[in-house]
Amino acid sequence: MHLPTAASLLLSALPLAVATPTPGHGHKEKGLNTYAKEAGLKYFGAATDSPGFRERAGYEAQYPKYDQIMWKSDEFGQTTPTNGQKWLFTEPQQGVFNYTEGNIVTSLAKKHGKYLRCHALVWHSQLAPWVEAKTDWTKDELRAVIVNHVTRVAKAWKGQCYAWDVVNEALEEDGSYRKSVFYNVLGEEYIKLAFATAAKVDPKAKLYYNDYNLEWPHAKTEGTQRIVKMLQKAKIRIDGVGLQAHLIAEQAPTLDQHIDAIKGFTKLGVEVALTELDIRLQVPANATNLAQQKEAYKNAVGACVQVKGCIGVTIWDFYDPFSWVPYVFPGEGAPLLWFEDWSKHPAYYGVQEALKNGTKKGKPGKWW
């Protein structure tokens, strides 16, 4: 993948304050997490993969620069391990648990004092093959599998996770349940079982339902509201809804659509976070689609800043070469905030504007 050197594109996008700092005032742009906290959010964060597991070979020389921004700057106050806590890694064979991969990022988060979002306990994808290989699970057997997995894995990181994505992507686009192995055997009971178990094991972690395409109101957001209400009715704790926000620059939701979608959840008394934000475009990037991307980032982050109860934003890695996008969407890429050459996307300044725009939300957390 060849990305343009961004310098020329960036010149027009750089805010005046950066191009001409006022002499003598010690003017210095702050990192995104600092602006996020000033805007009343808990964090602005970036997911990251285990060192050594980063998707592209040949980028080892970039690791020091990457690590400096990831862990030592004030750009990010939070992280999520992109892979290591998934079922495939944590219980590769039935009853055989392995936390090595997950511990890499979680221990870095601890060392550098970042909030940790833990991800994900029950998900149909990146699932250990043994769960789907067996086609004749009885309800009791699969209940025991879910309880054991959630109990062991949540216990392994007990007290370290600001939030856990307890159930990930349980819905189809029309709001009906995805026909996963869990749903096929247990129906919606599996969702209740996962949340009830996680609540018992880690009383301090915020328990989230997490899914994609929840950033504008439609059938899937309604399906998610139905899950929240189902758990509340059963008196099972759910604290938050994660809007993954894997968006497309050329057709991203408007600011108002984002706001309406977020409010659709906060009005139920749960908090919201953007948990996996990235905004892909047709490569090669050019001034037009980078401007669309900037607007799209500004609207997504701006909506979170403006709605009380939206507590934080996580981008799904921050350096374009480490994004999952080109592997899954051929012809698309450049979805993050730093280009391959480490120059910043115009979208970086869109995020910055959105964060600087909100400074009066009050303390997040106990807002309802």
Ligand X SMILES: *[C@@H]1O[C@H](CO)[C@@H](O)[C@H](O)[C@H]1NC(C)=O
Asked if 103 touches ligand X (CB under 6 A), the answer is no
Closest CA to 158 of 104, 217, 198, 215: 198
CB of 302 to ligand X, least distance (A): 2
Token representation of residue 342:
């480490």
Asked if 100 touches ligand X (CB under 6 A), the answer is yes
- Per CB under 6 A, contacts with ligand X among 305-364 are 306, 354, 357
d(CA 337, CA 355): 15
d(CA 5, CA 181): 46
Instruction: Choose which of 282, 291, 356, 367 interacts with ligand X (CB under 6 A).
Output: 282
Closest CA to 89 of 50, 142, 59, 45: 50
Determine contact, residues 118/85, Cβ cutoff 8 Å. yes
332 classed as catalytic? no
What character string, x for contact with ligand X (CB under 6 A) and - otherwise, covers 234-273?
---------------------x------------------
Asked if 101 touches ligand X (CB under 6 A), the answer is yes
Q: Which residue's C-beta sits nearest to ligand X?
A: 302
d(CA 119, CA 125): 12
Asked if 36 touches ligand X (CB under 6 A), the answer is no
What character string, x for contact with ligand X (CB under 6 A) and - otherwise, covers 283-312?
---x-xx--------x---x---x------
Which region, judged by CB under 6 A, interacts with ligand X, from 97-105, 139-147, 152-160, 230-238? 97-105
Q: Tell me the three state secondary structure of residue 366.
A: coil
CA 170, 304, 102, 339 dihedral sign is: positive
Token representation of residue 144:
């025991």
276 classed as catalytic? yes
Token representation of residue 15:
């805010």
- Catalytic machinery residues: 169, 276
What residues make contact with ligand X under the rule CB under 6 A?
Answer: 89, 98, 100-101, 255, 282, 286, 288-289, 298, 302, 306, 354, 357
